[in-house]
């Protein structure tokens, strides 16, 4: 039996992302070697409403801001953060 290695991450959704997905937390199982962009693709396939926010969200992995090409490890926490405005 040849199973492909996987990794499991927790996704935290805030503000508009939470509203559009209808949940504040989700668990994803992804193939080993996945990157942030892969996780976002899975999230958008489950919650198509998130796609319109993608260019406006900050993405953090384990509380550090990252780009879409950042690698993921099992147990990581991926957070979708709303844009910050202020003065």
Q: Measuring CA to CA, which residue among 78, 84, 73 is closest to residue 41?
A: 78
Task: Give the model's pLDDT for residue 4.
Answer: 83
Confidence of residue 3 (pLDDT cuts 50, 70, 90): confident
Task: Give the model's pLDDT for residue 13.
Answer: 97
We find that the CATH architecture of domain 16-74 is Roll (3.10)
Q: Measuring CA to CA, which residue among 79, 35, 83 is closest to residue 56?
A: 83
Where do the domains of the chain lie?
16-74
- pLDDT tens digit sequence for 14-73: 999 999 999 999 999 999 999 999 999 999 999 999 999 989 999 999 999 999 999 999
Task: Give the model's pLDDT for residue 1.
Answer: 54
Decide: helix, strand or coil at residue 12: strand
């Amino acid at each position: 039996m040849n199973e492909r290695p996987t990794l499991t991450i927790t996704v935290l959704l805030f503000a508009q992302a939470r509203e559009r997905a209808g949940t504040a937390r989700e668990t994803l199982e992804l193939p080993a070697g996945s990157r942030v962009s892969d996780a976002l693709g899975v999230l958008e396939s489950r919650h198509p409403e998130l796609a319109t926010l993608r260019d406006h969200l900050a993405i953090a992995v384990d509380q550090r801001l990252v780009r879409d090409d950042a690698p993921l490890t099992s147990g990581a926490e991926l957070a979708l953060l709303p844009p910050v405005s202020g003065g």
